[in-house]
Amino acid sequence: MGKNKIRELKIGNVVLNNNIILGPMAGLTDRAFRIICEKYNPGLVVSEMVSSKALFYGDEKTKKLLDTTGEKGKIAIQIFGSDIESMAFAAKYINEHKLADIIDINMGCPAPKIVKNGDGSKLLLDIDKVYDITKSVVDNSNLPVTVKIRKGWDSNNITGLDAAKAIERAGAKAITVHGRTRAEYYSGVADWDIIKQIKQNVNIPVIGNGDIKSPKDAEKIFEETDCDGIMISRASLGNPWIFEEIQNYFSGKTIRKIENKEILDTIIEHINLELQDKGENVGIKEMRKHICYYLKNMKNASEIRNTINHLETKEEVEQTLTKYFLNTQI
């Protein structure tokens, strides 16, 4: 095992107690999931992305995405948009309401409904706009600003390095790089070489993202790219323990086996947090996808998932899960 790469990470004037970050995932990294992950000590958690335009127009549903009640760790709120006025407004709003420690700008989302409006990864086709949007958020924020990008738009437009340089010039304090183009979505293998290139060409922290699924992967990306931190996204779904596991691996501690009881208790706590925010009807439906992740690769998982996908009350779901875990050996 290489030397310990887990350390404090300074982003502007914010010091994270470690450099392992929970990445933003739309519809997944809500307050409930962030609180669950925070128990296993990521250095930073990032919210699901928030529309600057919706915030600008005072949309109440969007404002609910900004709730961080009960969160104890450092948090970044991620905003997206391609309109300079609304991005500046969102930055001011987050600052004035003291909602976060860091503001993150999404320039990586590949979703069609995002890119068709010129937002997310579509911005990587216009480096001047990358600069202008970053600058507008920096100029309207007392909080450090970070930006999440991809390798580029497609194989003919590998613009990640140019975007990173523009982002640094505009005053951002860190960049997260996902090693795929927009065209690749989440397919194939992430290209970590682009992370290494960007790291060698900017002077602000570079956070590596893409295909970090285990402590060994974490070690490998640190060694191959010399990145300053890592961002775990999809690998944390159903597995909030990954943050603890990576830290234990690097510090030479034994990686403990997560027992059935802890998995069950975690799911139930997650359900309760989800229901606090969204009520039973919506909360149970939202939890179905999370429960699928928690049960992945477990015995008879598809049967139990199929059952849970038809249940509508907290009581039914908890009873079903309790019975399943009592009778299942991992």
H, E, C per residue of the chain: CCCCCCCCEEECCEEECCCEEECCCCCCCCHHHHHHHHCCCCCEEECCCEEHHHHHCCCHHHHHCCCCCCCCCCEEEEEECCCHHHHHHHHHHHHHCCCCCEEEEEECCCCHHHHCCCCHHHHHHCHHHHHHHHHHHHHCCCCCEEEEEEEECECCECCHHHHHHHHHHCCCCEEEEEEEECCCCCCCCCCCHHHHHHHHHCCCCEEEECCCCCHHHHHHHHHHHCCCEEEECHHHCCCCCHHHHHHHHHHCCCCCCCCHHHHHHHHHHHHHHHHHHHHHHHHHHHHHHHHHHHHCCCCCHHHHHHHHCCCCCHHHHHHHHHHHHHCCCC
Active-site positions read: 109
Closest to 10 measured CA to CA, from 121, 139, 102, 129: 102
Amino acid at 73: G
Beta strand 206-209 pairing with 174-181 = parallel
| Burial category of 328 from C-beta neighbours within 10 Å (exposed 0-12, middle 13-18, buried 19 and up) | middle
